[in-house]
Amino acid sequence: MASASQDTKTSFWLYRFSLLLVGATLLLILAGGLVTSREAGLAVPDWPLSYGKFFPPMVGNIFWEHGHRMIAGAVAILTLVLSVWIQIQGKQPWLKRLAWAALGAVILQALLGGLTVLYMLPPAVSIFHACLAQTFFCFTVALAYFLHPNFIPAQPAQKSSAQSPNRLALMTFAFIYFQLILGASIRHSSFTAAPHVIFASLVFLHVTLLAIRILRFHGEDKALVRAALGLGFSTVLQVFLGIGAFVFTRMLERGYEPPPAEIFFTASHQTLGAAVLGMSAWICLRARR
């Protein structure tokens, strides 16, 4: 009896720790977004050291670039700890593999970050770095989902009914992920914004349909309803942030550095985009039940 309660306690802390990783990753995505928005990506010309040091003076844009590197280091350590913890806990083999995959993704992400510095922001590498960041975020969301103390693995015999939000959730996730690729391309190259705007309406339509279906047929699942409402509200807000980002980066003239309003719109559009993707990933997992 004592050992069972010990297990419950450990599981609870493991879950809490995975939530910490989710939060830290979202903060890291914001920090990375601020590096791009402030055009600070090349303020430190070397990598992995910064001006040959572990800790350079945090003056000017070095603050943003080196700050991003430090938060990234912290997230990598958190991921390592969580992955090892999951192995020790003797969780399901697929969950162990997922944890290793997350660790692999964060290491690859660090290497890509290094390449953006050493090759002076080649668009392909920057876009890949941006997309892998949010893919890694989805990994952390999935880990937290599976580590929830009340998580029950899906029954293999489960039937998929017409009311199941399963497929619709997956399509919504796919559209949002495609939006991520388009958005990153606009941000890191001179790629046109038109496809991103067109796909925004498709995302909007799917998020609306998904929310309606969840509210109509799954009202008893309070967590799923909350996630659907959060996704809907965030998507509406995301449209406005996107318009703001477009106006500031593609329409207005500006001085020697991006104005605070531009930094706000571009960085928040990017970070909320990650949150939207994460929420839709969570809904996909939840809808499998």
Write the interaction track for another protein spanning residues 94-113; mark x where CB under 8 A is met and - where it is not.
--------------------
The window from 19-27, 41-49, 183-191, 208-216 that contacts another protein (CB under 8 A) reads 41-49
CB of 114 to another protein, least distance (A): 13
Q: Is 44 in the site for another protein (CB under 8 A)?
A: yes
According to CB under 8 A, which residues from 256 to 275 bind another protein? 256-257
Q: Is 51 in the site for another protein (CB under 8 A)?
A: yes
* Member of 90, 149, 255, 260 binding another protein (CB under 8 A): 255
Give the tokens for residue 234.
Answer: 């965030």
**Phi-psi domain of 259 (left: phi exceeds 0; alpha: psi -120 through 50; beta: other):** beta
Q: Estimate the crossing angle of helix 123-147 against helix 260-287, to 10 degrees.
A: 40
Q: DSSP assignment of 108-172, as one string?
A: HHHHHHHHHHHTT--HHHHHHHHHHHHHHHHHHHHHHHHHSTT--PPPTT----TT--HHHHHHH
Q: DSSP assignment of 46-73, as one string?
A: SSSSBTTBSS----TTHHHHHHHHHHHH
Nearer to another protein, 50 or 268 (CB): 50
The window from 69-77, 167-175, 193-201, 254-262 that contacts another protein (CB under 8 A) reads 254-262
Count, residues near another protein per rule CB under 8 A: 22
CA atoms within 13 A on the CB side of 169: 23
CB of 31 to another protein, least distance (A): 17
Q: DSSP assignment of 4-39, as one string?
A: HHHHHHHHHHHHHHHHHHHHHHHHHHHHHHHHHHTT
The window from 9-17, 34-42, 86-94, 97-105 that contacts another protein (CB under 8 A) reads 34-42
CB of 253 to another protein, least distance (A): 11
CB of 59 to another protein, least distance (A): 4
Which residues, including other chains, have CB under 8 Å from residue 108's CB and lie 6 or more apart? 132
Give the tokens for residue 9.
Answer: 């306690």
**CA dihedral sign of residues 85, 89, 93, 94:** negative
Nearer to another protein, 61 or 249 (CB): 61
Q: Is 40 in the site for another protein (CB under 8 A)?
A: yes
Nearer to another protein, 104 or 123 (CB): 123
Interface with another protein by CB under 8 A: which residues?
38-46, 51-52, 56-57, 59-63, 120, 255-257
